[in-house]
Amino acid sequence: MTTPARSPHRAWIEIDHATLASNLAVIRQLAGPERQVIAVVKANGYGHGAIEVSRTLAAHGVERLAVATVGEGVALREAGISGPIVVLWGIGEPEAPIAMAADLELTVYDQAGIELAERAAAAAGKRAALHLKLDTGLGRQGSDPGDAIELAVRVARSRDLHLAATFSHLAVPGQDDAYTDVQLLRLAQALDGMRSAGVDPGLVHVAASGGLLAGIGGFADAVRPGLALYGLVPAWAGETDHGLRPILSLKALPLRIFELPAGDAIGYGLRFRTTQATRIATLGIGYGDGWPRIHANNGSVLVHGERRPIVGAISMDGLTVDLGETHDVTYDDEFVLIGEQMSARITADEVAGERRTINYEVTTALRDRLPRLHLPEVIAGAG
């Protein structure tokens, strides 16, 4: 494979959209019939490229997209994405008119948020679609379940607002069944109270990727996967093959291949010193691209289907690999930092373990200066 023309320093990301579509099909099967999919594409599609990922998901019939910020939603609209988009976090006063102009659905959980949305909708001459979020035990944002009925009635009585959905988020799905059951009970009781008050809660959604894989929330109308779309799973679910496959690979070509005599050292701080003569390859990816300094003398890459260790410090723009006895590596050979090569594989989970973090952080950390090659070519302008 030749170097992508867009690559500033010979490192790039490949995104497999055929596998993305396959993962969506697996998610629909896990969710069951009649259940909608709200696809979470926040944080640049978990580092995979929100616009391109959204186009593929929309082309394959996903019912809704979800983002974290108004800016993320506006970027999708400007790219021609026309389907429903919900902003999962609360917004501030300056963002409200922007959200209305972009026809974004907003999350609310208190009177102040409802009034903010109402003013913006009235000023825009629109009826705003709201998702009422309940804090059933995660403790970040959301209304107390006991306040849900009052808030839902407030939305239902407004001519400028529409209660499109009611939802919550689980803290420990698949890990603490007792705590999860309490969360689900609180949500169910609030929904019953809303319906008894004559208010339709709209679309009910509670299970994100973890809840989906744990088979939780069967009473809901929709699932809200993020991580699973990209073929990744929470750490606790890693022992089971759900049929999901990673869609991201991270690759590089060598910028320099050179001999390093025994006893010589390389990199900032001279953190790697050879015990015998070896060959070193310099790759043009570093912490400025989202490959952090914790990988100094920590981790490996694939070349010719074999693992070779990362050695020395990680620079802002580069890292070095000990080729050892692999003497036939050339400047045309791909190095794989995440992904498969021949029969070998380095997963985002493995990289996360080297960083003492989670796979979510590995992919979302990958910076925009790494070009993303979307394969096969995505459908432009899908609604």
Q: For 66-72, what is the mean pLDDT?
A: 98
Tell me the CATH number at 327. Answer: 2.40.37.10
- Asked whether residue 240 is assigned to any structural domain, the reply reads no
- Asked whether residue 3 is assigned to any structural domain, the reply reads no
The pLDDT of residue 361 is above 50 = yes
- Residue 95's domain comprises 16-232
171/91 same-domain check = yes
Reference 45, options 247, 238, 288, 233; nearest CA is 247
285/214 same-domain check = no
117/211 same-domain check = yes
CB atoms within 10 A of CB 57: 27
207/283 same-domain check = no
- CB distance 190 to 137 below 8 Å: no
Examine the fold and report which residue of 202, 232, 262 is the final residue of a domain before the chain moves on.
Answer: 232
217/258 same-domain check = no
Reference 368, options 288, 294, 295, 292; nearest CA is 288
95/178 same-domain check = yes
Q: For 297-310, what is the mean pLDDT?
A: 97
Examine the fold and report which residue of 201, 232, 263 is the final residue of a domain before the chain moves on.
Answer: 232
- CA triple 369-10-42, angle to 5 deg: 30
134/27 same-domain check = yes
The pLDDT of residue 210 is above 70 = yes
Euclidean distance between CA atoms 155 and 149, whole angstroms: 10
Instruction: Give the pLDDT score at 325.
Output: 77
- Asked whether residue 199 is assigned to any structural domain, the reply reads yes
The pLDDT of residue 266 is above 70 = yes
- CA triple 175-187-86, angle to 5 deg: 90
CA-based torsion, 207, 209, 211, 217: positive or negative: positive
108/80 same-domain check = yes
- Asked whether residue 331 is assigned to any structural domain, the reply reads yes
Euclidean distance between CA atoms 132 and 152, whole angstroms: 7
Give the count of alpha carbons within 13 A of 129, CB side only: 15
225/303 same-domain check = no
> Of the residues 109, 230, 251, 268, which is catalytic?
268
138/202 same-domain check = yes
- Asked whether residue 65 is assigned to any structural domain, the reply reads yes
Instruction: Give the pLDDT score at 377.
Output: 58
- Asked whether residue 279 is assigned to any structural domain, the reply reads yes
Tell me the CATH number at 121. Answer: 3.20.20.10
The pLDDT of residue 4 is above 60 = no
77/138 same-domain check = yes
Q: Residue written as tokens 């913006």?
A: 120
Is the overall model pTM greater than 0.75, yes or no?
yes
Q: Give per-residue pLDDT as tens, 214-243.
A: 999 889 999 999 999 999 999 888 788 899
- Asked whether residue 4 is assigned to any structural domain, the reply reads no
Euclidean distance between CA atoms 229 and 134, whole angstroms: 24
287 noted as active-site residue: no
Q: What percent of the chain has pLDDT over 90?
A: 91
Examine the fold and report which residue of 200, 232, 264 is the final residue of a domain before the chain moves on.
Answer: 232
Instruction: Give the pLDDT score at 6.
Output: 46
156/222 same-domain check = yes
Q: How confident is the model at residue 380 (pLDDT cuts 50, 70, 90)?
A: very low
42 noted as active-site residue: yes
The pLDDT of residue 199 is above 90 = yes
Instruction: Give the pLDDT score at 5.
Output: 47
Structural domains of the chain, count: 2
pLDDT, mean over the chain? 94
- Asked whether residue 8 is assigned to any structural domain, the reply reads no
**Among 128-137, 237-246, 266-275, 338-347, which stretch is predicted with the lowest mean pLDDT?**
237-246
Instruction: Give the pLDDT score at 9.
Output: 59
> Of the residues 42, 109, 133, 287, which is catalytic?
42
